[in-house]
Homo-oligomer: A and B are copies of this chain.
Amino acid sequence: MKLVTAFAPATVANVSCGFDILGFAIDELGDEVTVKLVDTPGVKVVEIQGDGGKLPFDADKNTCSVAVQAMLNSLGVNLGIELSLFKGLPLGSGMGSSAASAAAALVAANEVLGNPFEKMDLVPFAMEAERIACGTAHADNVAPSILGGFVLIKDYDPLDVIKLPVPDGLYCTLLHPHLELKTMDSRSVLRQQISLKESTVQSGNIAGFIAGLFRNDFQLISRSLKDVIAEPTRALLIPGFYELRNVVREIGALGSGISGSGPTIFILSEGKEIALKVGKESKKVFEKIGLEVDVYVSKVNDKGAYVQSH
């Protein structure tokens, strides 16, 4: 009986200037999934830990099993697979929790099956899991969780996913305030029509950001890390957001933004020292307004999901 465990990292989607098209992966923080090949056909979730009992065991509803089932369907095989999920990520935090579970399950299952797929080929299967978890088959969390680094989702029809370079020394501080913010609410505050001017500004910023990644130009990255599309309305749902932005810029961070649809906030910094200081000072901002917050400091991960043990 073959047994493989894989790890998949947390991810930050949107990245301010990359609304719905950009994401990146975080080191260390993430989910683990163990895949076991068994004789009885069918994909089953047999164990879930670290979710506080909130995630479904139903194979049609759990992102791990949905992703693996999509993979098996693509291969046209009906194998027996048992999945054990160990959540390292908080649910509904905006850190790509559902995506990390699906990514870890796919990388482990791919290994169990002798790696019939390249990592890039796993993205569509994980997107099927996102469809179950979020209502849309978006790729801006699953693609960076699988592939690592910064990933551009250029197009969905057909899917066009581009891995981008990660400047050496780029660190991320994640702040997860203990706020309940439903993706649904966070989407509903988005304006469906925006001005031509705003669209042009957003385009200029994503273009500058991509050039900054290729050039290792931290200042260009910093000048580009702005969001005129989603942030103006979503930030209102996160108390302390604007004060935090000022505090971290003063410390020397490159910039901050909402991770995915929130409430987690990400801050990019050049070097670990600033990223740690950002974490410390940010905590104070939230404590002042009586909000508990978890702080994670990590390099931007260029590796993505990987097999941990056989």
Q: Could you list which residues of chain A lie within 8 angstroms of chain B, going by C-beta atoms?
A: 17-22, 152-155, 160, 162, 164, 190-196, 198-211, 214, 220, 223-224, 229
Contacts and interface: CB of A to CB of B under 8 A. Distances in A.
Contact of A229 (B21, B196, B209): B196
Contacts of A210: 207, 210-211, 214
A202 B194 CA distance: 13
A38 to B, nearest CB: 41
A18 B193 contact: no
A288 to B, nearest CB: 32
B160 A207 contact: no
B198 A195 contact: no
Most buried by B among A19, A190, A202, A211: A211
A207 B21 contact: yes
A154 B196 contact: no
Most buried by B among A194, A207, A224: A207
B200 A154 contact: no
Most buried by B among A22, A155, A193, A210: A210
Given A18-B203, A22-B207, A154-B207, 7 more contacts: A154-B205, A155-B223, A164-B211, A192-B195, A193-B195, A194-B194, A199-B199
Given A195-B192, A208-B154, A224-B154, A203 B202 contact: yes
15 contacts: A18-B203, A20-B200, A21-B200, A21-B207, A152-B204, A153-B204, A154-B204, A164-B211, A193-B196, A194-B196, A194-B199, A196-B229, A199-B229, A207-B207, A207-B210
